[in-house]
């Protein structure tokens, strides 16, 4: 099973392309408008912004102090969010791999029941859980802590990740496993030496999606966190938006800085991500 999409030319490609290009480019321009606005406003201060809201400023007049203020504004929040996102994604994938291995390789007694337990969760809307989750965290003494967010992140990712990983692992040829078993490998070693290398793309994609989810999350952090030092990016941005006096330049600079980690991630893992998504799509 080849997880990468074939680069062979597909059909239906005769006729001139320029119209398609034009449409695609037009739509892409509008789609990228927020990104453009963020970039060009981030180096303006309020007066230059009001004088000229649309067009970018020539580099000589850039107000780089905005970026410094931006870092000051949300630097700590980014650090917290990185902590939560990486921990949650890492732990979540680890647990999900174990679980998916269980479901994918063997049909144990109660296996079907346990699988149903997972599947049912796919249907359950998370919205009704917010209230009792709050009470639960209070009971566990986890309110106002980043650990709560990590735990929630791990639990939240399980269903989707186990589902996708199980499908993937099922497709790994049995012979590899049998060969390893003959060599006396334990389940754990089989997992490590066979499953993980072969599922590289899908794990990578799931990791990126998980990280993205934690990066964008704001509802639970808003409810759970009290101390400013613990705030994640979502809450920090909401508080930033609540100020009465808005210095748009600084705010846009802060937004830009908030995007930088994601930019870096996508820069380094672009191919992997696209490949993984396509593979996952074909499987799903």
Partner 1 sequence: MARIRISARKALHEWKLYLFVVPSLLMIATFSYFPALSAVYHSFFDWGGGEYKQFLGLGNYRRLFSDPVLWGAFGTIGILIIANIFKMIPSIAIAVLVHRLKSDRWQYWYRVLLVIPMIVPGLVTLFIWKFFFDPTSGLLNAFLDATHLKSVLIELDREVLHWNVFAEGIPIPWLGDPKLIVPSLILWGFPWIGAVGVLIYLAGLQSIGTEVYEAAEIDGASSLDKFWYVELPLILTQVRINLVLLVIGTLQGFGLQFLLLGNSGGAGQAGMVPGLWMFNKAFIAGEFGYACAIGMLLFVFILVLTYFNNKYVRVDK
Partner 2 sequence: MRERIFNGIGIGLLVLCFAIALFRVVSRTRREADPNVTTIRFAHWQLESGVRDAIEALADDYEAQWKARGRNVRIEQMPIPERVYPNWMVTQLVGGTAPEVIQIGIGINDERTARFFSPLTREVGEPNPYNDGTPLEGLPWRETFVDGLSSPLSYNQQLLDYFGIPMSMHTIRVFYNKELYQEIAGDAPPPQTFDELLDLCRQVREFGETHQRVVIPIVGSQYNAPYLMGDLFKSQTQRLMLAIDQNHLLRADDNARELGYLRGKWNLDTPAVRSAFELMHEIAGFMQPGYLNASREDATFYFVQRRALMVTTGSWDAASFHSQAPFEIGIFKLPLPSRDHPRFGPNILGPFSEASVGTGMTFGLNRFARDSDLALDFLRYLGSFQASQKFTDRSGWLPAVVGVEPAAKAQPFKPLTDGYPEGFSYTKLNSETARVSDKHMYLLPRPDGAEAFAAAIKQEYPRAVVQDIWAADRGRLRQILRNDTTLTGFDALMRLRPTDTILERKRNELREAQFGVELGFERSRWTLGELGHPYQRP
Using CB under 8 A as the criterion, which residues of the chain lie in contact with partner 2 when the complex forms? 50, 76, 79-80, 82-83, 86-87, 134, 137-138, 143-144, 146, 222-224, 226, 228-230, 238-239, 241-246, 261, 264-265, 267-269, 271-272
9 forms part of the interface with partner 1 (CB under 8 A): yes
Instruction: Kindly tell me which of 60 and 109 has the beta carbon lying closer to partner 1.
Output: 109
- Residue keyed to tokens 């994918």: 104
214 forms part of the interface with partner 1 (CB under 8 A): no
The binder of partner 1 chosen from 60, 174, 184, 197 (CB under 8 A): 174
Residue 208 CB coordination number (10 Å): 20
Query: How many residues sit close enough to partner 1 to count as binding (CB under 8 A)?
Result: 100
DSSP 57: P
The binder of partner 1 chosen from 106, 141, 182, 184 (CB under 8 A): 106
Residue 92 CB coordination number (10 Å): 25
Among the listed ranges 58-66, 82-90, 105-113, 194-202, the one in contact with partner 1 (CB under 8 A) is 105-113
The binder of partner 1 chosen from 43, 44, 101, 230 (CB under 8 A): 101
Residue 124 corresponds to which tokens in the numbers above? 């359950």
Least CB distance from residue 267 to partner 2, whole Å?
Answer: 8
Q: Cα separation of 204 and 272, whole Å? A: 7
The binder of partner 1 chosen from 82, 121, 185, 272 (CB under 8 A): 121
* Cβ atoms of 75 and 255 closer than 8 Å: no
160 forms part of the interface with partner 1 (CB under 8 A): no
211 forms part of the interface with partner 1 (CB under 8 A): no
CA 240 to chain centre: 23
Q: Cα separation of 220 and 143, whole Å? A: 11
Helix (H) or strand (E) holding 46: helix 46-51
Q: Cα separation of 69 and 249, whole Å? A: 10
Least CB distance from residue 161 to partner 2, whole Å?
Answer: 19
* Cβ atoms of 213 and 194 closer than 8 Å: no
212 forms part of the interface with partner 1 (CB under 8 A): yes
């Amino acid at each position: 099973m080849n997880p990468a999409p074939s680069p062979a030319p597909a059909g239906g490609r005769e006729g001139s392309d320029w119209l398609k290009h034009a449409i695609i480019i037009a739509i892409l321009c509008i789609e990228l408008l927020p990104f453009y606005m963020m970039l060009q406003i981030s180096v303006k201060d309020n007066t230059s912004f009001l004088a000229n809201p649309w067009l970018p400023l020539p580099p000589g007049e850039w107000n780089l102090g905005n970026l410094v203020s931006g870092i000051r504004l949300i630097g700590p929040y980014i650090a917290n969010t990185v902590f939560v996102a990486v921990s949650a994604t890492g732990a979540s994938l680890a647990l999900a791999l174990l679980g998916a291995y269980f479901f994918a390789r063997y049909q144990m007694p109660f296996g079907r029941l346990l699988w149903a337990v997972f599947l049912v969760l796919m249907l359950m809307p998370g919205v009704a859980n917010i209230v009792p989750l709050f009470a639960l965290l209070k009971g566990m003494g986890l309110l106002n802590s980043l650990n709560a967010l990590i735990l929630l992140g791990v639990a939240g990712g399980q269903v989707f990740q186990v589902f996708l990983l199980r499908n993937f692992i099922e497709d790994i040829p049995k012979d590899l496993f049998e060969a390893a078993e003959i060599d006396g490998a334990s389940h754990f070693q089989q997992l490590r030496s066979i499953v993980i290398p072969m599922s590289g793309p899908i794990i990578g994609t799931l990791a990126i999606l998980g990280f993205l989810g934690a990066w964008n999350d704001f509802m639970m952090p808003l409810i759970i966190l009290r101390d400013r030092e613990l705030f994640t990016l979502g809450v920090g941005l909401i508080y930033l938006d609540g100020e009465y006096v808005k210095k748009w330049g600084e705010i846009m600079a802060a937004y830009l800085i908030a995007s930088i980690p994601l930019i870096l991630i996508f820069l380094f893992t672009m191919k992997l991500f696209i490949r993984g998504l396509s593979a996952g799509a074909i499987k799903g």
